Amino acid sequence: MRTRGVLVVGDGPAGCAAAIAAARAGCEVTMVGSGRARPVPECASLAALGLLDWLAPELATEPQIWLDAPTQAGRAVDRGQLDGGLRAAAVRAGVDYRHMAAAGLRPAMVSGRVVGMTGGGLDVEDRWVIDASGVNGWLRRHLRLEEVIDSRPWWLQRGFGTRIAEQGDPSFNIASHGWLWRRATASGCIWTALSSMRGGAVNWPSGMQPTGRIWLEKRHWRHLRCASGAGYFVCGDAAGYLDPATGDGLRFALESGARAGGLAAAALRWSERASVASALYADWVLQTYRAGRAALVDIYERAGLQVR
Ligand SMILES: Cc1cc2nc3c(=O)[nH]c(=O)nc-3n(C[C@H](O)[C@H](O)[C@H](O)COP(=O)(O)OP(=O)(O)OC[C@H]3O[C@@H](n4cnc5c(N)ncnc54)[C@H](O)[C@@H]3O)c2cc1C
């Protein structure tokens, strides 16, 4: 049995941010993740870019991550490359990164408190656990944490496409059945589409067509009733998920991860402050989610797009 300060489950942006923040605060950190790296396109907002600059400034000069130059509307990224860069930054920060799926691993509990994980040959008994496992929610499923499903199902598609010049850039076309967002890159464009109908067709503007693979996902808006508890914090999509129209997924993942990592480190050092830190974090997650949801509902209602 190894004893360490912080265990992070999930190796996406939220998990890497949590691991880097906790390691910088002087904790011994283990991060467990699948190592999955999907080459999907996304747009990092200016706020997300600022956080990346703080967490891993060296990534700004890694050309394979970036699909275009910085603009006032953020920067297009290859998520597989970004995640790879963040994992490497976590290792450089001293994080013990284990490639493995935690699906078969269970949270280790002592007197109703999460203290680590157990099973699959990896028994780690830590004092604070951070769940950054994305929408599948490792702790939510094992601890049966209460989750609020907040919208109808949405069908999301994304990929690369040919470049067109006649629309503003980036462009966001919304209608009663869904929307199409598009942004020019150095070699074409990246796009994301949402539909309220299964198999809903994308309304391509004239002159544009998709190129290469299209990734399809079904998602709801959802959030945990409480994103922290005895011995744990939940961050990123595992804590709250809205759709990409917020343009805020990466920012929220990085910021909630960095906050959770810093707070876990503080809770290790000053255990008497842990319950206050935990309550403040859960409140911040909830308020952030609600603000994002209210903004989306406003946009969708004006477009006649039904949320429920
Ligand atoms: C179609 C679409 C388009 C989007 N576009 C944008 C955009 O343009 N801009 C933006 O800011 N956001 C966008 N987002 C949102 C953004 O992708 C997410 O908010 C962000 O990825 C959340 O990061 P995360 O680290 O919380 O979760 P994830 O990125 O899902 O990372 C979780 C990681 O944990 C690993 N993992 C999960 N469970 C386990 C387990 N049991 N064991 C081990 N490893 C595990 C996974 O393999 C994964 O690597 C988009 C989302 C979608 C669906």
CA-based max dimension of the chain: 62
Ligand 1 site-directed mutation target among 49, 65, 192, 202, most atoms within 8 Å of CB: 192
Q: Whose CA is nearest to atom 49 of ligand 1?
A: 12
Q: What does each C-alpha distance from 233 to 87, 236, 256, 261 come to in angstroms?
A: 20, 10, 9, 9
Ligand 1 site-directed mutation target among 30, 36, 42, most atoms within 8 Å of CB: 42
Which residues are near ligand 1 (CB < 6 Å)? 9-15, 32-34, 36, 42-43, 48, 101-103, 132-134, 136, 138, 156, 158, 192, 217, 219, 236-238, 244, 247-250, 253
Q: By the 8 A CB rule, do 153 and 223 touch?
A: no
Tokens of 185: 């890159």
Helical ranges in 166-273 per DSSP H: 249-269
Cα gap 273→32, rounded to integer Å: 27
Radius of gyration of the chain (CA): 20
Cα gap 268→264, rounded to integer Å: 6
Q: Which residue has the higher pLDDT, 41 or 3?
A: 41
pLDDT tens, residue by residue, 115-153:
999 987 778 877 899 999 999 999 999 999 999 999 999
Query: Is residue 291's pLDDT more than 70?
Result: yes
Q: Whose CA is nearest to atom 15 of ligand 1?
A: 249
Query: Is residue 3's pLDDT more than 50?
Result: no
DSSP state of 200: P
Say how many Å lie between the first and final Cα of the chain, rounded.
Answer: 47
